[in-house]
Structure 1
Amino acid sequence: MSDASFPPARAAGRGPAWYRGDCHVHSVHSDGELTPEELAVRARAAGLDFIATTEHNSAAEPGAWGHLATDDFLILLGEEVTTRTGHWLALGLDPGEVVDWNHQVRDGRIGRFLDQVHRAGGLCVAAHPHAPYPSGDFMFPFPGFDAVEVWNGLWTSDRPWNADNEAALAEWGRSLAADITTGSWRPAMGNSDTHLEGQIGTPHTVVFAEELSTEAILAAVRAGRSWIAESADVDVSFTASAAGRVAGVGERLSTHGDQVDVRAAVRGVPTGTVSFHTDRGKIHRAMLPGDGASTVRWDTTAKDSAFVRIEVRRPDGHVAALTNPIVLTDVAGG
């Protein structure tokens, strides 16, 4: 098979920028109802810059995706590894590469398959940890995985949020304090798990990448330089600053003991709320105006907060956006 059978690993893109993408997508080549062509058209219409092919337990079909990539639309190769004790995403695989699905938590073999993906430069993502069906619950230990899909859009109706996502978000949020202390925290991802019409991009992950390439997108996800959006109508800018030093989502801010000014600029969530979360839990909450556009500020210190992240919720309590944390360190205090 020729290289032209598969999409290129790099698109022209916009250089260093925020890119929107959905990394959990199924076509007619596994159990989805849409063709690759239909998925690409709908992804572009949803405002996405990239998607990942993640057919169940199989590689992307040669010739199915390569012609759909463009200068401003990247297609990553991947697989949903559907085991008996949980599903996970292998992102950034080589053309034709397949990860064996025939393993489970009690056989202790998961490490060899995670290593296979990592050797290819890929990313391993724990998928829908609390999915409501047999094998959907994720039973593997998280160490070894690079990210957790805390927001999955498949089992939802009017909006991409439900109790299973709430449980996954709470579990991930509780783990952050200990994981950040050890320097091994796992970023959150959000994906649609598209199988049907109208699902793609709902939700998706927004990443700050140096370029629109497989390597750069995966590096941004791995570093947590990302946040999750219900749709392209929602926009979030999240920063923390101390004495002129500024950090964004997924970055570390050395405060030197100075006060930290945390700011969240939100658009597209009318009469919603913004909540600030630290290692002490939900610590501050503010209302958004009727037009959904506002900048919310909150002050803290590294002594009081090991990290800060935000959740943006609609009036019904459904999440519209959430971010990975900004890590705060007090260098002056050791």
Structure 2
Amino acid sequence: MTNGEHDKRLLDLRGEVSPHPRVHYLQHEFRVAEELHGLKVTLRFHKERRCQLFLSVFGPAGYRGTRMNPAAVGEIELELRFGTDFASPGALPGPIEAGEWRVQIDVESTDETTPYSLTVGAHTEDPTAHTTPKPATQNGRAGQGWYRGELHAHTHHSDGKPTPTQLAAAARQYQLDFLALTDHFTPAGWPEIQALADEKLAVIRSLELTGHRGHANLHGLQEWVDVFVDDPDEPWNVNDVARAVRSQGGLFCVNHAFSNHLGWRYHEFDWSLCDAYEIYHQLEGPNNAAQLTFWDGLLRAGQRITGVAGTDSHDPHAGRHRLGQAVTVIGADSLTPSGLLAGLKAGRAYVSLGPTLMFEGHAGGDRAGMGGELPCAPVRLQLQLTNLQYPTRLFVLKNGLYHTHQDLPANSAVTELEIHDPDPLPGYYRAEAYALAPQSDSVAGREWQNTLLLSNPIYVRG
């Protein structure tokens, strides 16, 4: 490529975003007359308060990457560089085909009017060019078990700090069995994270749908799914995304549903398309109480949605973002992406901030664990808990309401419990455990900040 080609501008324009009128996406098209080695796309704007603009590029063959920097203020520059054998964070390497290309500015939200500039130019090979790593020969291992891991984590390919290599190293350091990479919008980190899998760490290819009315993790994808669901002039919506995820054998998980302006507001969402739901989010504080309450409402309505944890880690060694503090434990036939997804789909999972759990029920000669089903006959619930580092109050809930509780001493060995219900109802039982503060009285104990364990339901047939 000559210097002239390097400097060639394919698009150079100025525009403005404003709160009024509300615009969700700005589309700018440009044409590549002949195949190029690379492109450089740059969006610049100024942000004083809240002005969230995300940059995405689409070529003739489809999606090529997204760049975002939601925490920054002042002069913002978002840049994507990609070509035949190189790509900057968030971008996908590959040929720069001749034909029609499109730059999309996602106006996630803005409280201010601000100008922006957008340029696209031909680009020479990047000095950070890399060879796409080959997937590991082994992604997990055979063998039934209960596996603990992280279902919500980000890298520098979206708004996280670590590279995929650093994220995987942290997962190993904190003794996780599995890790889902859930960067916003882009699958750019998939090749690197897949190359880091082995028999001790299974990795799941995921994305976070980052919509204007809520976020959701798309777990177990085979290929990128269009996550841009907020164009009122397009028929593609969040229900279509959930169906597309399921068509690939993946799972749709609603994230941090009560996170204020990032909470779930897709009121048209068909909850029968939801496979999992974050009942505990490491960064959400007291919103976790609301998330549990809403989940119980879904369960009482007959939806069988698996409750999971999410750290939403953007720096795997920092504070509340540190991996391993709140994990999802999945009962799976194998430590593989398919085995873990099957276990999640079946409801064989629980949220843990330390303890381990065995929870099963017996009724009418049948036995069922979490996600399983019992006949509507007198029920005997059995629980085993280990690693109780604090005095603990254990609750059993029946159809989302209080059924019984027991106070347990700190005990690193096995604590066994048996609870009977001679008058079951169609619905479900689930268990919760909380660290018990010394000053707690007889009506306290479900403070969100003391959460230790949240089970998934054992169901009772009607």
SS in 1 for 2:151: strand
Q: Relative to 1, partners in 2 of residues 1:5 and 1:252: Cα closer, same or farther, differing over 3 Å?
A: same
The residue that corresponds to 2:419 in the other structure is: 298
Higher relative contact order (CA 8 A, sep 6+): 1
Give the equivalent residue in structure 1 for 2:326: 203
Matched, 1:283 2:403: yes
Q: CA deviation at 1:7?
A: 5.1
Amino acid at match of 1:21: G
Q: CA RMSD in A?
A: 2.5
**Total equivalences in the alignment:** 313
Question: Percent identity between the aligned chains?
Answer: 25
- The alpha-carbon deviation at position 61 of structure 1 amounts to 2.5
- Counterpart of 2:180 (choices 46, 52, 62) is 52
Structure showing greater radius of gyration is: 2
Give how far 1:106 is off.
11
Q: What are the superposed Cα offsets for residues 248-277 of structure 1, whole Å, 9 maximum, x if unpaired? A: 11111236x3x3211221123321111000
1:239 maps onto 2:394 in alignment: no
Superposed, 1:11-160 pairs within 5 Å as 11-13=140-142, 15-61=143-189, 63-95=191-223, 97-103=224-230, 109-132=237-260, 134-140=261-267, 141=269, 142-155=271-284
Deviation at 1:136, TM superposition (A): 3.2
| Change beyond 3 A, Cα 1:226–1:280 | closer
Query: Aligned-pair distance for 1:177?
Result: 2.0
Question: Which letter does structure 1 place at the counterpart of 2:330?
Answer: V
Distance (Å, rounded) in 2 between the aligned partners of 1:9 and 1:21:
18
Q: Distance in 2 between matches of 1:3 and 1:209?
A: 31
Q: CA deviation at 1:39?
A: 1.6
Q: Alpha-carbon deviations, 1:270-316, whole Å to 9, x = none?
A: 21111000126011010011326522221014634632100011125
SS in 1 for 2:397: strand
For residue 34 of structure 1, report the CA deviation from its aligned partner. 1.8
Residue type matched to 1:26 in 2?
A: H
Q: Which residue of 2 aligns with 1:219?
A: 342
Structure 2 match to 1:194: 313
Greater alpha carbon shift after TM alignment, 136-145 vs 208-217: 136-145
Q: In structure 1, what is the Cα distance between the partners aligned to 2:394 and 2:232? A: 37
Residue 456 (structure 2) pairs with residue 328 (structure 1): no
Deviation per residue, 1:91-138 (Å, 9 max, x gap): 11125x243234279977222211221111111000110113x23344
- Is the strand fraction higher in 1 or 2? 2
Residue in structure 2 matched with residue 229 of structure 1 by the alignment: 352
Cα contact 1:104–1:110 (8 A) shared by 2 = no
Letter of the aligned partner of 1:37 in structure 2?
A: T
**Contact (CA 8 Å) 1:205, 1:227: kept in 2 or not?**
yes
State the 1:26 CA deviation: 0.4
How many Å apart are 1:35 and its aligned residue?
A: 2.1
1:178 has 2:297 as partner: no
* Structure-1 residue corresponding to 2:429: 308
> Which one is further off, 217-226 or 259-268?
259-268
Higher mean alpha-carbon deviation, 272-281 vs 299-308, is at 299-308
TM-score by length of 1: 0.85
Matched-pair contact (CA < 8 Å) for 2:379–2:424: no
Counterpart residue number, 2:287: 164
What displacement does 1:62 show? 5.3
Unaligned runs of 5+ in 1: 156-161
- Relative to structure 1, the CA distance from residue 62 to residue 216 in structure 2 (aligned partners, 3 Å threshold; closer, same or farther) is closer
In the alignment, structure 1 residue 274 sits paired with structure 2 residue 394 = yes
Unaligned runs of 5+ in 2: 1-93, 95-130, 438-446
Greater percentage in helix: 1
Is the aligned partner of 1:5 residue 2:134? Answer: yes
SS in 2 for 1:210: strand
Contact 1:9/1:213, CA 8 A, preserved across alignment: no
Structure 1 residues 293-302 or 274-283, which shifts more? 293-302
Residues 143 and 243 of structure 1: CA distance in aligned 2, closer, same or farther (over 3 Å): closer
Instruction: Check the 8 A contact 2:164/2:189 in 1, yes or no.
Output: no
CA–CA separation in structure 2 for the residues paired with 1:261 and 1:303: 10
- Residues in 1 aligned to 2:151 and 2:400: alpha-carbon distance in whole angstroms: 31
- Equivalent position amino acid for 2:372 in 1: E
